[in-house]
Amino acid sequence: MTDVTAAPAGLQHDLGWTLGVVFRAYLKSATAVTVGLPGGHRGYQVLAAAARSAPASQSALAQQLGIDRTVMTYLLDDLERTELVERRPAPTDRRTRHVVATTRGRGLLDDLAARLAQAEAHVLAGLPDSDQQTFKALLQRLAGYANDLDPVSDACAIVQDINAATSP
Amino acid sequence: MTDVTAAPAGLQHDLGWTLGVVFRAYLKSATAVTVGLPGGHRGYQVLAAAARSAPASQSALAQQLGIDRTVMTYLLDDLERTELVERRPAPTDRRTRHVVATTRGRGLLDDLAARLAQAEAHVLAGLPDSDQQTFKALLQRLAGYANDLDPVSDACAIVQDINAATSP
DNA sequence: TATTGTTATACTCTATAACTATA
DNA sequence: TATAGTTATAGAGTATAACAATA
């Protein structure tokens, strides 16, 4: 009895399934490669963003990363405790905190980036190099567009469909 | 103060970030489009797989869909309660159950598939049509390959890196 | 002995609500 | 009044462990 997972019938072309498979594969590798780093692969994303520029605010960063601002608080607590990142009061608005990488954080970033690149390569390894480039380019364009997408509008009728047939 | 989310500095080319953005966007749209369906977008995946062929077993289907076999039990309970899917004892092995779509489930599938296609189109709308095709084709090849991927092997050194700098 | 499916439990992750301090 | 950040709490989702039935 082999353990090899084939695509379920009828789902090979489903965006949800294909995206899910690839995303989970990435998560698995990214997690394996960031053990010990507070926040795992997301701790890396915060650190990377904080190292290249000081994000405008915690909640702005949270939104960019697709997580809740309350989760960001805990994440930053952990990253600050390990001295990889600092919260700095914004000079212009005393409510806001800038997130900046410490020297230590920046020092760790290169190694981390290399590890994540390894995870990335691992996930993309099924494609020849030129196709990897194409895929990444398209995905990046999509991400730039999709981050501010509202869910599709029309979304009410199915409840009736199901309940209608359930009763008698 | 605009609400438009730009890519965080240094993450525009990160596979984890781009994949996450697109996957979350899909999830949002797919969820909106499947309200009322037990299990939401995953209920659809089970139903679709059950309608085209009877999956060999619950746990095989769970693995294909990237969820735990215990979660599959609850999912099928809900889908069976709404009479969209049935569990049938496998003739060859009395431990195993085949998952088959009911007439009602198959009847609902076309409408559901159209809704999911709408969600999919919404997420991909940022790309011209030919690029959408290219992207989907590459993603499908990747998914066929990545579903059986083990996490990247080397994954131990970072704990030391961090603890080393934390202690003294 | 190993595997399928189920159940109960525990754990993790995430979101909600309420609060402080600013604006 | 509205917003940034924090905290506590509740909730959803997921995994773990133990079990019965079967192989």
Instruction: Kindly report, residue by residue over B80-136, the tens digit of the pLDDT.
Output: 999 999 999 999 999 999 999 999 999 999 999 999 999 999 999 999 999 999 999
B46: amino acid identity, one letter: V
Residue B68's CB: how many other CB atoms inside 10 A? 12
CB contact under 8 A, B145 and A125: yes
Strand runs (DSSP E) across chain B, as ranges?
Answer: 85-89, 97-101
Q: For residue B87, which nucleotide's C1' is closest to its Cα? A: C5
Query: What pTM was computed for the model?
Result: 0.92
Q: How far apart are CA B72 and CA A66, in angstroms?
A: 27
DSSP readout, A46-103? HHHHHHHS--S-HHHHHHHHT--HHHHHHHHHHHHHTTSEEEEE-SS-TT-EEEEE-H
Q: Are B17 and A142 in contact (CB under 8 A)?
A: no
List the structure tokens of B167.
């202690």
B11-15, B53-57, B87-91, range with the lowest pLDDT = B53-57
Is the minimum CB–CB distance between B61 and chain A shorter than 8 Å? yes
Using a CB-CB cut-off of 8 Å, the residues of chain A touching B26 are: 15-16, 19
Q: Is the pLDDT of residue A125 over 90?
A: yes
CB contact under 8 A, B158 and A10: no
Using a CB-CB cut-off of 8 Å, the residues of chain A touching B145 are: 125-127
pLDDT of residue B152: 74
Is the minimum CB–CB distance between A115 and chain B shorter than 8 Å? yes
Using a CB-CB cut-off of 8 Å, the residues of chain B touching A145 are: 125-127
